[in-house]
Chains A and B, each alone.
Chain A
Amino acid sequence: MIRSLLKFLLGKMLRLVVLLAAISILSFMMVKMAPIDPVQAYVGADLLKVSEAQREQIAAYWGLDQPPLAQFLTWGSAVLKGNLGTSMTFRQPVTDVIAERFLSSLALMVSAWALSGLIGFAAGAAAAMNRNTWVDRMIHWYCYTLAATPAFWLGLLLIMVFSVWLGWFPLGLGVPAGMAADQVTLGDRIYHMFLPALVLSVTGIATIALHTRQKLAEVLDSDYIIFARARGERGFGLFWRHGLRNIALPALTLQFASFSELFGGAVLAEQVFAYPGLGQATVQAGLRGDVPLLLGIVLFSTCFVFAGNMIADLLYTIIDPRIRSRDGGDPLEAG
């Protein structure tokens, strides 16, 4: 068991390394083709104060006067040592920016992820248990409408209703304005995180709900459910004893496989609420031409998505006893 797990992890790591290498080469090549002059992006508003000689100094300082291949080699070897360079907008090492920003994004993403999973799962289960009734149709209608809603627009609506009209929640930002970092309590953070997390959760609900409905509907058509019904079981008891276990794992797996959408949704939600997370940093990097940060985030988000997919794979092979017992009991050989 342990050996096959190690083998599985080793294989995955190898794939990740190849993937990251390919992505760094591709994105570095593309970034070099961008029409935006990095020196210009760095100088920004001080355009008139910077002389030609200073520009050359800046270019030499960042290594921008080298040919692209030499630049890539310099960057690539630094990345291998764990140094992603310095962010031009934040004037900090990229790794620091990503670590700091990701921590605050992580809180947002985890709560939204859990929320969307729970709501979606409950809605999907309710729809399947009440198949072809008005409950089912309502949930369906709701899911499709939710899936067609631009998440950032929903964020704007929530701000208008809850922050501007009712005044229940702050207008944005991760912490109260004008407060020193050590005075901010956990309550403040949660209070500021509530609306963004709600918006972010919306992106995942429809997928998980419709998937769960489909799976549970299949389960409900099975012989053992018909037998259970014949014995007189019904309603929530039937779902609890015979349905839940069969659909919980696929739903959880799907939820882990949705890290890509989660990250994308976080970018939008953070932008709407001015929440200081990694998503907002991504947008700033794109807008200001902060190449090192942008490349760092591309690599980091790739790892993030990869981790989610890997957990999904692991869940499939480890938890489900039926998969474990297949082929004489070594689940991970196939993975």
Chain B
Amino acid sequence: MKPDNLAMPDTASGGKWLNRRQRAVIAAIASAMVLFAVLGFGLALPGSGLDARLEIRNQPPSLSHLFGTDWLGRDMLTRTLKGLTLSIFVGLAAAASSVLIAAIMGLAAAMGGRYMDHIIGWITDLFLSVPHLVTLILISFILGGGVKGVLIGIAVTHWPAMARMIRAELLQLRETDYVRLSSRLGRSRWWIATRHLLPHLLPHLLTGMLLIFPHAILHEASITFLGLGLSPHQPAIGIILSESMRYLSTGLWWLAFFPGAALLLIVRSFDRVSEYIRLLIHPASAQE
């Protein structure tokens, strides 16, 4: 969850035999590998770790169960990896839909004329005026929770800032010579929007998705933690953490510590990937 206005490149001179671009590539690859490793293990692990085995319940972390086991004897490492995989997919889907909404809204605001611009600006303000978490709770409640509720909730709450950015970008772009020329040549707004503006937007959409994803995954965990998100039968980090609350006072610290730390690691490595990818896509902003 990166406060998004500041790209802070590592300004130290660092290694002598690699320039910053090369170091960015390497760091991005390394962080991406962490993500893919989690995804790979999460998908490939057999479900047997999730079966209740009461004879090994409540075991602290050991070599055979790196993250320990819970009160039913389920392996916490398996639960964590499965949960993270689910969270990553939900986060990606939500971030992608959010960016899609933002792109449509931004394009419509910039190209749809003055009234359209006013209306969309007003809708954007409307969505920013209720706290995200309250909107999420409301939408989850309306859709009866579950993956659908979380997905729609996150998609609906995260687009406004992005839409504003796209609109501002497009308003500038609209005044460029080639777009003006195109419109003088009699091209329709729709033609200009799809042929001239949209291709220019694609890298912005990618970076926008990278920026939204950490927010999305953390909000998914939060809403699930509150009991309004994914169902308790699904392996989700939020479920694991809310269940662990009952065992805090009995000293089963590993139930909460490792899953949360793993989530933190995922968000942090995604942050790094997105930071470096942005440096690579927009080299001009890298000096900020």
Q: Which residues of A contact B (CB under 8 A)?
A: 19, 22-23, 26-27, 30-31, 33-36, 132, 137, 140, 143-145, 147-153, 156-157, 159-160, 163-164, 171, 206-207, 210-211, 213-214, 259-261, 263-264, 267-268, 271-272, 282-283, 285-287, 289, 294, 297-298, 301-302, 304-306
Contact = CB atoms under 8 A, between A and B. Distances in A.
Contacts of B173: none
A282 B129 contact: no
Given A23-B130, A144-B271, A160 B138 contact: no
B12 A132 contact: yes
B160 to A, nearest CB: 11
B238 to A, nearest CB: 9
Interface residues of B, number: 49
A275 to B, nearest CB: 14
A301 B141 contact: no
27 contacts: A19-B125, A19-B126, A23-B129, A30-B142, A31-B141, A34-B144, A144-B271, A145-B268, A148-B1, A150-B225, A153-B260, A156-B241, A156-B244, A156-B245, A210-B3, A211-B5, A211-B6, A214-B6, A260-B130, A260-B132, A264-B133, A267-B137, A271-B225, A282-B137, A287-B227, A301-B131, A301-B134
Contacts of A264: 131-134
A302 B126 CA distance: 9
A148 B244 CA distance: 21
Contacts of B1: 147-148
A34 to B, nearest CB: 4
Nearest to B136: A264
A144 B268 contact: yes
B226 interface: yes
Contacts of A282: 133-134, 137
B53 interface: no
Given A148-B267, A263-B134, A157 B8 contact: no
Contacts of B227: 283, 287
Contacts of B6: 210-211, 213-214
B248 interface: yes
